[in-house]
Chain A
Amino acid sequence: MSRLQRRRVLLALAAPALAVVVAFVVTSLILVVARDPVGQVWATLLTPPRPRLVVAILNGAIVYYVSAVAVAIGFRMNLFNIGVDGQYRVAAFAAAVVAGQAWLPGPLNVALGLVVAMLAGGLWAGIAGLLRIYRGVSEVISTIMLNAIATFLVAYLLRKAAVDGGGSNVVSTRPLPDASRVPGLPLVPGVSREVYGLVFLAVLVGLVYWFVLSRTRFGFDLRATGASESAAVASGVDVRRMVVTSMILSGMTAGLVGMPLLFGQDYAYGSTFQPGLGFAGIAIALLGRNHPVGIAFAALLWAYLDQQSNALQITAGVSDKLVGVIQGVIVLSVVIAYELVRRGGVALEQRRVASLLDASSGRPAEGAPA
């Protein structure tokens, strides 16, 4: 029993590891073909990051993590929520506007901001869910459209909600009052930069995600629907309601993506608010196999590559865009690696059964526990 589980864990780890190795080889080949200094590039990327960068990596990973969980919720139900990108921007904007009014004191204002963000994200994603069940529109199409709409809608509303940026051409919402700023945590000694206080939010999101999916009846229904819609229907799951609910949950989680940035760094939503987090989330969810711990490692790797890329231009004379290539290759190879590892696992198991059989001379046959 426990051996079976240990084997599963090992196999689960083998696939992403293999993907990273493949990405390493493929990237090296690209560098060789492009006559770039391969050794220098890897030396740069693999140098242990300085403490200041460690903080940046952690902060990047926090945001990626939440985004990837939002995507994973959809994946578990065979829903491709490509719209996390739009959802988090709409949500961050809404939260910034509301929290900027400072209607409530201090921490309560933060809580209000989080609630508003979840509502806005859930609402935005819910549109795609409703379109899917009432009009049969694929959520892939509708969320891509909603991303585009979100971009323009937020830009348009930002103009209206903007306060005077004091001469700079950055437009942004009214800044949060000091009391509503979530202080950072000095987790890494010797640097002034701090880890987002809302790291707790990310941990909480991961815990809730794990618990709901693996322990609750709702999670069971959700996974069943993802595994076989027809069997889920026959088992009594209301699939239409499930589509809307999980889309909304995915959107609510997406709404939280921008919160560490808003309350821990930017203190307002402006035209420079970090874009593209939703798309990274898709890749990270894939690499992390929709598993709460797997996603955490994938998010760290992503953020690590992001931060290490900055030095490439200086030390190796190679564009930092290379890291984008590496990330892309990882995602492609991860899909292939999972299949390879799965087959390898079966072969391994068969050899093991065979050797057991030889040892115990024939008796355990069909149906016998191995």
Chain B
Amino acid sequence: MRPAGRQRGACVIVGTRGASGRHASDESPAVELRGITKRFPGVVANRDVELTVRRGTVHAVVGENGAGKSTLMKILYGVQAPDEGTIAVDGTVRQLGSPSDAIAAGIGMVFQHFQLADNLTVLENVVLGAERRHGIGEAARTAIRELSAAYGLGVDPDALVATLGVGARQRVEILKVLFRGARIVILDEPTAVLVPQEVDELFDNLRGLKAEGLTVLFISHKLDEVLRVADAITVIRRGTTVAEVHPKEVSARELAELMVGSELPSPSTEESTVTDTPLLTVVDTSLDDPSGGRRLLEGIDLTVHAGEVVGIAGVEGNGQAELVEVVMGMREPTSGRILLGEQDVSSWPVRALREAGIGYVPEDRHRHGLLLEAPLWENVVLGHQTDPLYRTGPGGTLVDAAAARRETEQVVAQYDVRTPSIDVTAGSLSGGNQQKLILGREMRRSPRVLVAAHPTRGVDVGAQAAIWDHIKAARRAGLGVLLVSADLEELVGLSDTIRVILRGRLTGDFDPDTVTKEQLGAAMTGAAR
């Protein structure tokens, strides 16, 4: 139910405004970080970081996983205190001890995990905690409407957040920040959850902010996007700033090499390895919405063969999460059957499916993939508690910690998880490194079928290429993959078949070798029919 038409309309206005964007370049910079250093147990996340952000620009920060980008942004937003260094906002040095200090200084941040209450309206979400500014009534509603119009956000204050798609939620988050008076907006990997159309809309919004003299700082791993929208790019490598480049003067490849500090391997083209042995078959499967309303899944038919990657494209919230949960046994379908090989596994619990050789990379690594407070080696066992490798003692009732630790060393080495030790908690890894750990633990158990939702979300380009290579190698050996992704490049590059999911139905069937992004985009938003 995303009012796509209206948003696009709003963006057009912004686009025209974008042209007159530059006017504040001669004043003091919006943000000036000097000599920022931040240490965590066993790692230095930031070392002597220097960063200058001019007012009224879109400034991108790029770098490998674990380079220290999120930490730097959290320092600027007052979530974490730097051990050394100074922060100047609009020319005055500030002590930012908490997010409220940062907000007072005109800085706002949108985190990658949205922080919205589903069962409240946009208005309620926006005013929550900022009631002082415009009250909670008509004045606040007017303020939201004005902000929304001024920056081309197309946000309806009375919509229920639960009914909004990801892109719209993100705009609500941005609006929340603006409502609190932010003149400097930080976005941590805002595009990771978006499909290309939504990315375009977001970038139009960012240009809108810029046109109004606001400053945007954002992190991304998608380098062509960065080149498209940024006015300046800062590269962080191993905790420190190594370069400041102008988007006109570098290519995505050069940027990637600056990040990594060495040359990137070229992606290899692959022969098809698809066989005609079905591994995972979903037959006419539907899922009712427990709270009434449209069915979450409707008559899904799908087969993954040995050696095949079936990609599911779709705008988030169209049933892909439910499809994955049904296949993984976390939700029972209302009707239909799921076959693993020849066997009907429709009513099997998660553990039995796991034991039968289904690997799982969940969409939300914090909620479903990791025990954030537990050490890495326990996290490697997670999901494979009953795997013979980790079982020991009478009847296999004990956990073989030594084996788990050895395996973790392997995962860390093979999947390039950057960590000081396997005894640190999973929560202390950077986002991309957490993702690599999950992928490594699943792939190294040699699954027959891999159900992967956004397997490289938040992973830097170098590591992404490495993960794709791992998946391709396993596919040659007969792995079947059900791949849900918002990253069209990933879908096109990995899949043998691409299916599009829209409002709970599989609508399209595309050949990745011939399909264009425009065709896919049209099918995903339903514009094709």
Residues on A close to B: CB < 8 A? 1, 4, 215-221, 223-224, 227-228, 230-231, 233-238, 346, 349-350, 353-354, 357, 364-370
Q: Does B421 lie within 8 Å of A369, measured CB to CB? A: yes
Q: Does A233 lie within 8 Å of B39, measured CB to CB? A: no
The 7 A-B residue pairs with the shortest CB-CB distance, nearest first, are A236-B351, A367-B418, A349-B41, A234-B368, A366-B238, A235-B383, A350-B39
- Give the residues from 370 to 396 in chain B that come closer than 8 angstroms, CB to CB, to chain A: 370-374, 378, 381-386, 391, 393, 396
User: Interface residue count for B (Cβ, 8 Å)?
Assistant: 53
A365 vs B419: C-alpha distance when bound (angstroms): 11
When the two chains form the complex, which single residue of B42, B68, B385, B393 contacts A353, counting CB atoms closer than 8 Å?
Answer: B42
Residues of A close to B330: CB separation below 8 A: 233-234
Q: Does A370 lie within 8 Å of B420, measured CB to CB? A: yes
Q: Nearest Cβ distance between residue B387 and chain A, in whole angstroms?
A: 10
B440 contacts the other chain (Cβ, under 8 Å)? no
Q: Does B373 lie within 8 Å of A236, measured CB to CB? A: no
Binds A, one of B13-21, B27-35, B43-51, B279-287: B43-51
Residues of A close to B398: CB separation below 8 A: 215-217
> A221-B385, A224-B382 are known contacts; what are 13 more A-B pairs with Cβ within 8 Å?
A217-B397, A227-B373, A228-B367, A230-B367, A231-B367, A231-B368, A234-B383, A236-B354, A236-B383, A237-B385, A238-B351, A367-B418, A369-B42
Q: Nearest Cβ distance between residue A341 and chain B, in whole angstroms?
A: 14
Q: DSSP majority for the A interface?
A: helix
**Chain A: CB-nearest residue to B355:** A236
A43 vs B65: C-alpha distance when bound (angstroms): 59
Residues of A close to B360: CB separation below 8 A: 234
Residues of A close to B68: CB separation below 8 A: 366
Q: Nearest Cβ distance between residue B450 and chain A, in whole angstroms?
A: 14
When the two chains form the complex, which single residue of B372, B385, B397 contacts A236, counting CB atoms closer than 8 Å?
Answer: B385
Q: Does A366 lie within 8 Å of B385, measured CB to CB? A: no
When the two chains form the complex, which single residue of B41, B353, B418 contacts A346, counting CB atoms closer than 8 Å?
Answer: B41
When the two chains form the complex, which single residue of A221, A230, A235, A353 contacts B44, counting CB atoms closer than 8 Å?
Answer: A353
* Among B39, B68, B240, residue most surrounded by chain A Cβ atoms (within 10 Å): B39
A236 vs B358: C-alpha distance when bound (angstroms): 12
Q: Does A4 lie within 8 Å of B423, measured CB to CB? A: yes
A254 vs B278: C-alpha distance when bound (angstroms): 52
Known contacts A236-B349, A367-B43: A218-B371 contact under CB 8 Å:
no
Q: Does B397 lie within 8 Å of A365, measured CB to CB? A: no
When the two chains form the complex, which single residue of B42, B239, B399 contacts A217, counting CB atoms closer than 8 Å?
Answer: B399
Q: Does B43 lie within 8 Å of A234, measured CB to CB? A: no
B67 contacts the other chain (Cβ, under 8 Å)? yes
* Among B83, B330, B371, B391, residue most surrounded by chain A Cβ atoms (within 10 Å): B371
B333 contacts the other chain (Cβ, under 8 Å)? no
A315 vs B39: C-alpha distance when bound (angstroms): 54
A68 vs B412: C-alpha distance when bound (angstroms): 39
Q: Does B397 lie within 8 Å of A216, measured CB to CB? A: yes
22 CB < 8 A contacts A-B = A216-B397, A217-B386, A217-B397, A217-B398, A219-B399, A220-B385, A223-B374, A224-B371, A227-B371, A227-B372, A231-B371, A231-B382, A233-B350, A234-B369, A235-B385, A236-B351, A350-B40, A353-B41, A367-B238, A367-B418, A367-B420, A368-B43
